Chains A and B, each alone.
Chain A
Amino acid sequence: MNQYQDYELECIEKLETWIPGFDFLSEGGLPKGRATLVAGTAGSSKTVFACQFLTEGIKRGENGVFVTFEEPPKAIRRNMGGFGWNIKKWEEERKWAFVDASPQPGDQPMVSGDYDLGALIARIEFAIRKYKAKRVSMDSLGAIFSHLEDSAQVRSDLFRLASALREMEVTTIMTAERTQEYGDISRYGVEEFVADNVVILRNVLSDEKRRRTIEILKYRGTDHQKGEYPFTIIPKKGVVIIPLSAIELEQKSSNIRITSGSNELDRMCGGGFFRDSIILVSGATGTGKTLMVTEFMAGGVENGERCLIFAFEESREQLFRNAIGWGVDFKQMEKDGKLKVVCRYPETTGLENHLINMKEMIEEFKPNRVAVDSLSALERVSNLKGFREFIIGLTSFIKQQEIGGLFTSTTPTLLGGSSITEAHISTITDSIILLRYVEMYGEMRRGITVLKMRGSMHDKDIREFSIDAKGMHIAKPFRNVTGILAGNPMYNAQNEVERLSGLFDQEI
């Protein structure tokens, strides 16, 4: 068939949905003039997605028709109010039209003979023409099958409807139920006859936590990102998709150095951190991670930079008091508008929401430096996969903004050891600084070393440091101890050290 061939040869145009993240995932939006099936289990926010598709269109001058098979329009108006979508107002402005196909109160109509969905199709076509709609959402298809017994007829009518919609060149979202998160695409096999494209919303329970993901399963004849991407539902915004693995390594990197806040540490790093780098500070509890954050912030403020701290372990008062103890006045800095301290309890919300909140905060405050204290505290509110995605999302965002980031991570053991955080983050970070306890002659001492520093020479020693009322003081390297990083320090006799030093003729 000639016509069919022509149709296929044309490049598939895409309609930007403006749903945050989705256009990235779908590489441009939904295929224009086609139907896309959005399938998901109960509570996977199909209706929100379907509504948001229309609202984002209306905000940009494209009218929409919402066909509801399940909830009556009244319920939808009310339920979506929480997202700040005033559907009633849009209806009055003739931008949004409902086609109400929800079950009516009262008895099921009696059936005598054959019927078809001709009236529904006529109503939808009428609404589209009347409102000059460009976008149509249908929620949800499975419900018609439960109203009407003759599923074979419903199938063929839906097929007819889908082709009618295609002819009218509207872009359509149809939702359908699924019974399992991983199983058949949809109940009643709707996908087989209505849609060229299938998007799946999941709401998976893992480790007693719900995690929402979205996946584009099928996009006939056009490209898209593959796999599941986390998303979250946010009041006043709706669906926000977090495109993680799609983030490209495009960040610029500069040779500009920024101070760590400590001259000695700058020297160890070969002149300071790079401006657009992510630094991970790892250490056991009490080794001085928060101190490093404080110095990093103080160093920034001193140079007239704007600094932002996300604290997930300590309260403001605690942080401020500790900073005073090290000779840094956070209160004054905040008053000057140079510093912002955000304290959140990790359990208040899911990681996805934390990530989005943090991004918003960064965009709003526009800092030059960001510190997160500590990442390990966030580890406990999510599963491993979610946590890794969070870290990737955050680090890439920070890098794109061309700001310096310092994250801390707590190691589970006092001596040596590494944490889950490090395992996931170490390849993403540009620099890693280890803070370790060193047990010597019945005394706990602290050691610091720069494990890694991309693009720069750095000190390879493990140096001792002390903390006093002025902050951190880095001293000489531990020369007569080995095995600090492994967590079992061994002492060499002094003459052995001398013998070794002599071998290499090195100055300490």
Chain B
Amino acid sequence: MTKYLLRLYITGNSIRSQRAIANLFRICREELSDQYKVEIIDVLEQPHLAEAEKILVTPTLIKQLPPPLQRLIGDLSNKDKVLLGLDMILKDKKKIKEP
């Protein structure tokens, strides 16, 4: 089951895009175990999707699910901020309690 639906908007094959993808997958693996689905959208190939979401900068990460919708910009190199932006801090704490 996928609990998190994340969309990452990037521009082509740039270093910044690569870095954002790598950072996102690393954070997801570390924090969300299997409960996530990531869609990567290249705005150079699908500019109409960027238009529809009114994406201004890349990389932009949108947390589609669970609500509320959250937007995060940057190459996701600051993990704490990513977690804060995606409201994952709570889960993080739970995780610590669990064992």
Contacts and interface: CB of A to CB of B under 8 A. Distances in A.
A288 B5 CA distance: 87
Contact of A147 (B50, B56, B59, B74): B56
Given A119-B55, A126-B47, A114 B74 contact: yes
B33 interface: no
Main DSSP-derived SS at the B contact region: mixed
Contact of B60 (A99, A119, A123): A119
Contacts of A114: 16, 74-75, 77
Main DSSP-derived SS at the A contact region: mixed
B76 interface: yes
Contacts of B54: 100-101, 104
Interface in A106-122: 109-120, 122
Interface in B32-55: 43-44, 47-48, 50-51, 54-55
Contact of A112 (B9, B12, B81): B81
Given A110-B72, A110-B84, A110-B85, A116 B51 contact: no
Contacts of A126: 47-48, 50-51
Contacts of A119: 9, 11, 43, 50, 55-58, 60
B73 A115 contact: yes
B18 to A, nearest CB: 12
B60 A112 contact: no
B85 A112 contact: yes
A438 to B, nearest CB: 77
A125 interface: yes
A123 B76 CA distance: 22
Interface string B1-31: 0000000011110101001100100000000
Interface residues of B, number: 36
A301 interface: no
A115 B59 contact: yes
A127 interface: yes
Given A126-B47, A127-B51, A115 B16 contact: yes
Contacts of A109: 60, 71-73, 85
Interface in B65-81: 70-79, 81
Contacts of B71: 109-110
B94 to A, nearest CB: 21
Nearest to B68: A106
Interface in A137-179: 144, 147-148
B11 A122 contact: yes
A114 B72 CA distance: 11
A94 to B, nearest CB: 14
B58 A116 contact: yes
